[in-house]
Amino acid sequence: MRGLFLLVTVSAVLALLPASAVAKPGHGRGHGHKNGSGVVYTQTQNPAGNEIVVYRRAANGTIAEIARVPTGGVGAASTPPFGFPIVDSQGSIELTKNGRLLFAVNAGDDTISSFRVHKHGGLTLVDREASGGDLPVSIDTQRKLLYVVNSLSPNISGLRFKPNGQMTPIPGSTEALSASGPNTAPAQIGFAGRPYRVLTVTIRGTQTIDTFKLGKDGTPGPAMPNASTDMNPFGFEYRRGGQLIMSNAGEAGAPDDLTKFLGRASSYKLAKSGTLTPIDSISVDGQRATCWVVITSNQRYAFMTNTLSQTVSRFRISRDGHLTLLGHVATGPGFASDEALSRGSRYLYVLLPSIMGGTSHIDYYRVGPGGTLTQIGSTPSDLPPGASGLAAR
């Protein structure tokens, strides 16, 4: 009770402070938290002015909003393929591995914003640059490189960034995707880990996974299309050793058609040449629209959100990349979408935008032994319907 009283007291004090007082809580170089606390970020995706929503994470996994920081750009009123108000992709915001920079897409004005992250999680807007195409939906970083996939162009393009967050477009870094058309839409872009110099993009509507080999100067070669084992590949994460773990939304249709969007989970092995070889493909037990993916820091478990079933599926990953479905946990109301794991994978955060109107919120879970999930709370439902992207540390 004493701990709860202290938490409520601190939250109340923070709520009374002006946004400027909590948006920049520190300027130190260190980004660790000895007491196990951290921070969670999402974005409003508001067409009238995009903002990053900053949540302080307590050591017990609970989160409380402390600031909303403008990106300098705007969100999009709707995005392909269904016209939802969210950025319908994985990776619309990105926190660098060292936790010192945050990047976000502004889907409404084709720009990328960069922020310096302060010691206790507050943000300062540093730069905003063109995305190199039309409708940026997903970004990823590796060392000093940032790549974005643009949905309506459709293409990828790169920027180089400095430790302070200043960005510079990379000449010769723009490449077309292998497929385009009214029924296609990229869902994610991501780097493979070392020693692979490869970018990966999932393309819905074509059962295609594009890979791009990167040269020593950081520019990509042309798209290399790889056939996906399942329909509508969506989110993914790479494990060490070039194993790609992927969600698949299933056969598209009307969202209210219960015979469609039956999700699957799959895995692939990446070669240094950039080609993908299937390892495994399994059913997600009738769950619908399996879309967003995260992998625990020990590389043993994956969690995938099922947007139209309002659940999170749990998977065990074997050393050779095969998948075992462990079960599902329910989420709150809304469309289960973006996910993020805290540092050390102790807690899972799931964004639930309302999409059809109304407000949105975040559910959070404790990650237990064997990849179990126990819900421990939810934020107030005060986010806009287009809330998108999630990052945590």
Q: What is the full DSSP assignment across 330-392?
A: E--SS----EEE-GGG-EEEEEE--SSSS-BEEEEEEE-GGG-EEEEEE--S-B-TT-EEEEE
> What was the pLDDT predicted at 307?
96
Q: How far is CA 367 from the centre of its chain?
A: 19
> What was the pLDDT predicted at 34?
60
Provide the 8-state DSSP code for 51.
E
> What was the pLDDT predicted at 312?
98
Domain assignment of residue 11, yes or no: no
The amino acid occupying position 160 is R
Q: Give the mean model confidence (pLDDT) for residues 318-341.
A: 97
Domain assignment of residue 278, yes or no: yes
On whether the CB atoms of residues 93 and 103 are closer than 8 A, the answer is: yes
Domain assignment of residue 346, yes or no: yes
CA–CA separation, 118 vs 311, rounded Å? 34
Q: Is the dihedral of CA 5, 120, 44, 92 positive or negative?
A: negative
Q: Phi-psi bin for 11: left (phi > 0), alpha (psi -120 to 50), beta? A: alpha
Q: Give the mean model confidence (pLDDT) for residues 94-113.
A: 98
Domain assignment of residue 19, yes or no: no
Given the DSSP bridges, would you call strands 339-341 and 323-330 parallel, antiparallel or unpaired? unpaired
Residue 84 has pLDDT above 50, yes or no: yes
> What was the pLDDT predicted at 15?
39
| Burial bucket for residue 377 (CB in 10 Å: 0-12, 13-18, 19+) | middle
Reduce the secondary structure of 258-325 to three states and give it as a string. CCCCEEEEEEEEECCCCCEEEEEEEEEEEEECEEEEEECCCCCEEEEEECCCCEEEEEEECCCCCEEE
- Each residue's pLDDT tens digit, 36-71: 899 999 999 999 999 999 999 999 999 999 999 999
Q: In the chain, what percentage of residues exceed pLDDT 90?
A: 85
Q: Which of 255, 249, 315, 252 is nearest to 287 (CA)?
A: 249
User: What is the count of structural domains for the chain?
Assistant: 1
Quote the domain boundaries for residue 365: 26-31+38-392
pLDDT interval class at 224 (50, 70, 90): very high
Domain assignment of residue 239, yes or no: yes
On whether the CB atoms of residues 41 and 391 are closer than 8 A, the answer is: yes
> What was the pLDDT predicted at 33?
57
What average pLDDT does the chain have? 91
Q: Give the mean model confidence (pLDDT) for residues 30-35.
A: 55
* Residues in CB range of 75: below 8 A, 6 or more apart: 43, 44, 45, 46, 47, 50, 85, 87, 106, 107, 108, 386, 388
Question: Is the bond leading into 195 cis (omega within 30 degrees of zero)?
Answer: yes
Whole-prediction pTM value?
Answer: 0.90
Residue 233 has pLDDT above 80, yes or no: yes
Q: Give the mean model confidence (pLDDT) for residues 166-190.
A: 95
Q: Which of 192, 217, 175 is nearest to 274 (CA)?
A: 192
Q: Give the mean model confidence (pLDDT) for residues 122-128.
A: 98
The amino acid occupying position 149 is V
- Each residue's pLDDT tens digit, 180-203: 888 899 999 999 988 899 999 999
pLDDT interval class at 4 (50, 70, 90): very low
> What was the pLDDT predicted at 206?
87
User: Which domain CATH number covers 194?
Assistant: 2.130.10.10
> What was the pLDDT predicted at 31?
52
Residue 29 has pLDDT above 90, yes or no: no
Domain assignment of residue 4, yes or no: no
Domain assignment of residue 139, yes or no: yes
> What was the pLDDT predicted at 156?
98
Q: Give the mean model confidence (pLDDT) for residues 313-326.
A: 98
Please tell me which residue, 298 or 256, carries the higher pLDDT value: 298
Domain assignment of residue 321, yes or no: yes
